[in-house]
Chains A and B, each alone.
Chain A
Amino acid sequence: MTSSLFQYLPRLLAQSRGPALIPIEASNIAPRTDLLFAAMLLICGGVTLAIAILIIFFSVRYRAGSAARRDRSPSTGYRLEIIWTLAPLGLFLLIFMWAAGIFFQLHRRPAAAPLEINVMAKQWMWKFQHPGGQREIDELHLPVGRVVRLTMTSQDVIHSFFVPAFRVKQDVLPDRFTTMTFAPTRPGMYYLFCAEYCGTDHSRMRGVVYVQQPREYELWLAARGAELDVALAGAAAFRRLGCSACHFADSGLQAPSLVGLWGRAVKLHDGAVVQADAQYLRDSILLPNKHRVAGYDPIMPSFQGVVTDDELFALVEYIKSLAAPAPAQGLQP
């Protein structure tokens, strides 16, 4: 409701190549953010207006030489001070909780399996990879109505993935995965901006997000062809890098099994328990002793500098695909 108010009234501006007052709401997060913003506008604007009116009123009424009463007001008493300290405090608490709830939705683990998109940022372009291996540069096709999780990393400096229409933003860091979860809700074409200064062509590090009906998205995927099965590529990397030497049941060496690992809780040697997510897998490959599993010696070498970011994505996909073991079929993973 509020969104239509904001969008239809100022469309006049849009005709003169100016923006609407706010961008289109195209994700599940957007209406929540806009409602909070509208509420804050109302409250903050209201208080600001009230103060302005008071100031103007006092300025006129109590201007030097006017006939208003000016006898000394009774001693302050702390009542007024306490009221205008506690009232804002209470209000702020409510707003804080409201906003925190929206942020929680952006970053909590999604209930159902989301569409996993891998994002690689580098100076000055965006590279995307769909689960079927389809790649895009500076363009991202997404199906409407489906929860998307972006897993992102940078190849050089810090960038930031920002789609104003979705009201989402997340910095993208080198040598680390950051993630963000949202659902596009409206088909269309939306700006993608890099929102963290990254050097010369920061202003030009832009893209377009195409949100399509699910059928059209499937058609697009098929047209691009499964360029490569990422999990298969991961399996190949797994063999080539020698991971299979240790991480298989009959290898004779002490290494934790990877079958069914994805998403499971892992007990570490110092007693902590972590979840086996993308960042955990990445860390274990690059900094093997960061999360040493309980009961194993620290003998895994680091693959820093040996494995590329692409291969890391693929290895993660491969390990995800290692479901709990089927009955023995002679085919070891």
Chain B
Amino acid sequence: MEHVELASRTTAPHHQFDDLLQQRRAYEMGMWIFLVTELLLFGGLFLGYAVYRNLHTAAFQAGSRELNLLAGAINTAVLLVSSLTMALALHALQLARRRAAARLLALTALLGALFLAIKAWEYTSHVLHHKFPGALFQSSGPHPGPLELFYSFYFAMTGLHAAHMLVGLVVCAIMIGLLRRGRFTPESHAPLEMTGLYWHFVDIVWIFLFPLLYLMGYPQ
């Protein structure tokens, strides 16, 4: 077990705060409010999806079945594990195991990158099969219009999610850098906690996306 070099200077709160506790409370509240805004951002898409799924049940179910269930399931597992490694990273830092924390954070980022790679593969396959909505869309099924609508929402929802994942990756990388430079201590590592919250949120969004998009076509 390695020792960590504690920051020699005492961390003082920013000038607008009276003490560290107040600062921490403020950052936490701020992060949760931000997550609520993200919830509403995705919420609009979920609402649109729900409305159209209700209007065009058969087409949307057919669309669901056309998605690659295996890829989606693997991605779900990947994200769940990445949330675990993220939590473990924070835990390691709380135990003053800085190197372990950095490695776990790197693993989290790697898993996130794997998720995006699989997603990119799925997208490419959709495009090659003429399933990207727009001028190039083709379908021989009975409901080409609503099916294309399904794909619009599929791409919009997973695309927005992927964009959030990408941001999460970048933030992870930055956090790894800061961690290795000794910017965080077991007592004071609020940015890392915020990152963890964000990562878990993005994971939870996927937990909803996966069944709604991939599983709603079953049982037939």
A304–B142 alpha-carbon span in the complex (Å): 11
Q: Which of A276-293 contact B (CB under 8 A)?
A: 287, 289-290
Chain A binding site: helix, strand, loop or mixed by DSSP?
loop
Query: What residues of B have a CB within 8 angstroms of the CB of A298 in the complex?
Result: 58, 142
A301–B56 alpha-carbon span in the complex (Å): 15
Find the B residue at minimum CB distance from A286.
B145
Chain B binding site: helix, strand, loop or mixed by DSSP?
helix
Find the A residue at minimum CB distance from B57.
A289
- Is the C-beta of B183 less than 8 angstroms from some C-beta in chain A? no
Query: What residues of A have a CB within 8 angstroms of the CB of B56 in the complex?
Result: 287, 290
A302–B147 alpha-carbon span in the complex (Å): 13
- Is the C-beta of B6 less than 8 angstroms from some C-beta in chain A? no
A298–B61 alpha-carbon span in the complex (Å): 15
A301–B142 alpha-carbon span in the complex (Å): 7
The minimal Cβ–Cβ distance linking B145 to chain A, given in whole angstroms, is 6
Report yes or no: A290 in contact with B55, Cβ–Cβ below 8 A. yes
Report yes or no: B142 in contact with A302, Cβ–Cβ below 8 A. yes
A302–B145 alpha-carbon span in the complex (Å): 10
Query: What residues of A have a CB within 8 angstroms of the CB of B55 in the complex?
Result: 290
Query: What residues of B have a CB within 8 angstroms of the CB of A304 in the complex?
Result: 145
Q: Which of A289-323 contact B (CB under 8 A)?
A: 289-290, 298, 301-302, 304
Q: Which of B22-69 contact A (CB under 8 A)?
A: 55-56, 58
The minimal Cβ–Cβ distance linking A246 to chain B, given in whole angstroms, is 15
A327–B118 alpha-carbon span in the complex (Å): 67
Report yes or no: A289 in contact with B145, Cβ–Cβ below 8 A. no
- B interface vs A, CB < 8 Å? 55-56, 58, 142-143, 145-146
User: Which 4 A/B pairs are nearest by Cβ-Cβ distance?
Assistant: A289-B58, A304-B145, A298-B58, A302-B143
Would you list 7 pairs from A and B whose C-beta atoms are within 8 A, ordered by A residue? A287-B146, A289-B58, A289-B142, A289-B143, A290-B56, A298-B58, A298-B142
Q: A287-B146, A289-B142, A302-B142 are in contact. List 10 more A-B contacts (CB 8 A).
A: A287-B56, A289-B58, A289-B143, A290-B55, A290-B56, A298-B58, A298-B142, A301-B142, A302-B143, A304-B145
